[in-house]
Chains A and B, each alone.
Chain A
């Protein structure tokens, strides 16, 4: 009987784990000793980091999608359905159709989703670029924006921690290109007492934001939004008037995961590790889990541990970008932004599709 690995979630982490295990243990799959199944809701894979570019009309929505079935190696069986529960004692995953899938090994990679409804008034009063629908609506509003005050507010936890900065810099570019920058005030707010959670990045941003004429406000945690009067109220007592409010909404994991924790190793956005819920984090976590699974299937030692490694590009506007790389023990050291790193990021946006295939 084949050992059955079930991966729940067709995002970056789930796809990489399923593909890597299936490719690395290809022989076991072909000999009928291992079966790899990936369960996800739709035959669709969205490149989520592309939503930032979609909000500025720099890419089309179609460019951000591939069919999941065309990405996965043939050794992975794709099963479409929504997981509603996991029963660790019977080692069974339950689908919304009522079907059950029995597993030997389970990986939960269900990610995180934006929950703007956690903040009163935010759904009506704010825009966001964390869903395709939201990014398209924001793109439309930005294309018609004729001046005023744009406030950026950041909820916690969220996915990529550099996205708020990237949004601010790309917004500055976008408004300049449209000739409305001189009529627009941009305010970048942040929940902590500095401009970014990572101190070296906060220092980097403290130089670049004022250079671009972007105002800043720290210790700004959204408490509620008044959509009619267009005021964002913070827990700290600051009332910020806005013409356009763009938020990185707070995020939350899948409901069934909260009930099940303790069985399969959660990955990517579904974890409670002290790291971001970014695709890069998910990627490095997935490599570790895949290596451990392959070792276990072969009866080898495994024992690989995730060391907190993350690699992030940071779009800095003006056709330039920088990057940071860090782990639990080594803080990042942002370098001056350059044209080359920006081009590298654009190339990465295309090469991403090799990753869920288990190639890169």
Chain B
């Protein structure tokens, strides 16, 4: 995900689809530290969809 953020433009929205339960904990923590916007998390079928917007 960090690689996608690195390559994205400010304003881009990136969705991470993850079956690793750690992602729904780690990604919000990263957003908080990096000052990026966590748009939301929802559970789809057997994975989590975690959406982040690059704000700077």
Contacts and interface: CB of A to CB of B under 8 A. Distances in A.
A236 B3 contact: no
A236 B33 contact: yes
A235 B29 contact: no
Given A236-B34, A237-B34, A237-B35, A219 B5 contact: no
Nearest to A236: B34
Interface string A233-252: 00111000000000000000
A193 B29 contact: yes
Interface string A179-203: 0000000000001110000010000
Interface of A is mostly: loop
A219 B3 contact: no
Contacts of B35: 236-237
A235 B2 contact: yes
Contacts of A237: 33-35
Interface residues of A, number: 11
A193 B2 contact: no
Contacts of B34: 219, 235-237
Nearest to B25: A193
B6 A156 contact: no
Nearest to B20: A274
Interface string A2-35: 0000000000000000000000000000000000
15 contacts: A191-B2, A192-B26, A193-B26, A193-B30, A219-B29, A219-B30, A219-B33, A221-B2, A221-B6, A223-B6, A235-B2, A235-B6, A236-B35, A237-B33, A237-B35
Contacts of A192: 26
Contacts of B26: 192-193
Which bucket holds chain B's interface residue count?
10 to 19
Given A235-B5, A235-B6, 13 more contacts: A156-B2, A193-B29, A193-B33, A199-B22, A219-B33, A221-B6, A235-B2, A235-B34, A236-B33, A236-B35, A237-B33, A237-B34, A237-B35
Interface in B2-53: 2-3, 5-6, 22, 26, 29-30, 33-35
A333 B3 CA distance: 29
Contacts, number: 27
Interface of B is mostly: helix
B35 to A, nearest CB: 6
Interface string A321-335: 000000000000000
A123 B34 CA distance: 24
Contacts of B3: 156
B5 to A, nearest CB: 7
Contacts of A235: 2, 5-6, 34
Which interface residue of A192, A193, A199, A223 has the most chain B CB atoms within 10 A? A193
Nearest to B2: A221
Contacts of A199: 22
A219 B2 CA distance: 10
A156 B3 CA distance: 8
Contacts of B6: 221, 223, 235
A156 B6 CA distance: 12
A238 B44 CA distance: 34
Contacts of B5: 235
Nearest to B34: A236
Interface string A207-251: 000000000000101010000000000011100000000000000
Nearest to A250: B3
B53 to A, nearest CB: 15
Contacts of A156: 2-3
Contacts of A221: 2, 6
A199 B3 CA distance: 21
